[in-house]
């Protein structure tokens, strides 16, 4: 048990903390606890904030997190070249067939920009769009790449109907649920007719996937909402995308799946107790990866 302090009353509130799963080999219980509490506190501010307030929080939230959680996996992975190469190889498998020397490629939330740099090798122009500059000290830019910092809402620097391929990986779950439709409307605006947005995000049935997984059955950190395929289908229709289909990457091969399959899986899995649902979902629909077409 540890002690939490209520900032308004300074009253001590006893809270029990226990791990729901074994910690990774490179992190201690105290590190995970600190990460969880810091991220949860920032997420709670974000969830209760107005749209204007969220702009300010978006601009500093990762700087605040990384300053208070120096052992954050994103920081430690940045220095692991092998993990970076493997991650980029997996991402490239999702979009490689859509890239060509005349393409304009753009990535939402590119983080350290290593994948955007990889994609830039195959296209005419590449952009990264993020709420803060998270490039590391060893960052090396490409002549055809530009990083654009924006507030999460108003994007300048990329013209409407100018992008062939959009990409994001593990982003949608970080967007405030009230802002998710706005995000896809922005994607729709900058895509060319027939342009594709390829994105990957955790599935709600197998989560949570943020640091909450060690302490809670529900996402309470920076994963503000983990989604289902059925929820996304209605969203795509509301934004007026012409087509959309799930994909699954198996050993570097991208497989196109019928949407009916993932919908049927979700309907069936919902009938099961949560413990069984989570286990089966990891085999049937382990994550969400979708191609949406303007």
CATH code given to domain 81-293: 3.40.50.150
- Contacts (Cβ under 8 Å, ≥6 apart) of 42: 57, 61, 64, 65, 222
CB 26 within 8 A of CB 76: yes
Backbone phi, then psi, for 241, in 5-degree steps?
-65, 145
Q: In what order do the strands lie in the sheet with 287-293?
A: 145-149, 125-130, 104-108, 163-169, 191-202, 287-293, 243-250, 253-256
How many C-beta atoms surround the C-beta of residue 53 within 10 A? Answer: 12
Per-10-residue mean pLDDT of the chain, 294 residues long, equals 39 62 89 94 94 88 92 77 85 93 96 91 96 75 90 90 97 94 97 97 94 92 96 96 91 84 96 93 93 98
Peptide bond into 34 cis (omega under 30): no
Sign, CA dihedral 182-64-139-291, equals negative
CB 235 within 8 A of CB 184: yes
CB 195 within 8 A of CB 177: no
pLDDT for the residue numbered 13? 40
Look at the block and give the residue holding tokens 């060690």: 214
pTM as predicted: 0.88
CB 196 within 8 A of CB 164: yes
Domain residues of the chain, as ranges? 2-76, 81-293
Q: Write out the two tokens for 51.
A: 């749209």
- Name the residue among 120, 213, 106, 207 with its Cα closest to residue 160: 106
HSE of 193, CA atoms in CB hemisphere, 13 A? 0
Look at the block and give the residue holding tokens 């300053």: 67
pLDDT for the residue numbered 4? 39
């Amino acid at each position: 048990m540890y002690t939490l302090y209520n900032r308004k009353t300074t009253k001590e509130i006893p809270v029990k903390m226990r791990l729901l799963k074994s910690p990774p080999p490179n992190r201690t219980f105290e590190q995970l606890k600190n990460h969880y509490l810091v991220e949860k506190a920032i997420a709670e501010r974000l969830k209760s904030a107005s749209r204007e307030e969220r702009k300010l929080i978006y601009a500093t939230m990762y700087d605040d997190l990384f300053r208070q959680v120096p052992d954050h996996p994103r920081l430690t992975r940045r220095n692991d070249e092998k993990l970076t190469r493997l991650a980029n190889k997996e991402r490239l498998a999702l979009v490689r067939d859509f890239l060509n020397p005349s393409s304009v490629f753009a990535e939402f939330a590119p983080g350290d920009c290593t994948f955007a740099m990889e994609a830039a090798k195959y296209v005419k122009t590449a952009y990264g769009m993020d709420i803060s500059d998270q490039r590391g000290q060893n960052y090396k830019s490409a002549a055809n790449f530009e990083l654009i910092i924006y507030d999460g809402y108003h994007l300048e620097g990329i013209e409407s109907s100018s992008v062939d391929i959009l990409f994001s990986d593990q982003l949608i779950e970080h967007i405030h649920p009230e802002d998710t439709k706005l995000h896809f409307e922005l994607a729709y605006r900058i895509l060319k007719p027939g342009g594709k947005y390829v994105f990957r995000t955790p599935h709600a049935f197998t989560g949570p996937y943020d640091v909450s997984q060690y302490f809670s059955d529900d996402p309470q950190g920076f994963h503000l909402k983990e989604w289902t395929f059925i929820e996304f289908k209605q969203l795509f229709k509301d934004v007026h995308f012409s087509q959309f289909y799930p994909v699954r990457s198996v050993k570097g091969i991208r497989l196109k799946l019928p949407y009916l399959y993932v919908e049927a899986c979700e309907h069936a899995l919902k009938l099961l107790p949560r413990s069984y649902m989570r286990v089966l979902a990891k085999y049937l629909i382990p994550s969400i990866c979708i191609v949406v077409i303007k």
